[in-house]
Amino acid sequence: MPPRSTRSVAPLDDDDYPAYTMGRAAEMLGTTPAFLRALGEHRLITPLRSEGGHRRYSRYQLRIAARARELVDQGTAIEAACRIIILEDQLEEAQRINEQLRTQGGESQPKTTA
């Protein structure tokens, strides 16, 4: 039996690890590299670059790109799709912060009885 590798598998579990080339990402999404470049031009996703300058995408970025593809397939212009996703993300973050503040505020304030 060969010895087990001592290398970490952490990148495999990391949603932000840039594991996918542009070609592979486009294939997985059923789209074209031009679509992925357009998402970058509209600042929806910013892929990391390999040492050779090639774009590399993470699983998180692929999920965002898949959402954009879904909106574009429904007839939304790519510019509008990118803006919608950015606004959805901002709303989700605001709701998370609001909930966090609500739970923190509820713990520190005494309850009153009427």
Residue 49 backbone phi and psi in degrees, to 5? -115, 140
* Count of beta carbons in the 10 Å neighbourhood of residue 85: 20
For residue 14, what pLDDT is reported?
A: 80
Q: What global pTM score does this model have? A: 0.75
CA distance 100 to 16: 24
Question: pLDDT 10s digit of each residue in the chain, 114 long?
Answer: 444 444 555 666 788 888 899 999 999 999 999 999 999 999 999 999 988 999 999 999 999 999 999 999 999 999 999 999 999 999 999 999 999 999 998 665 555 555
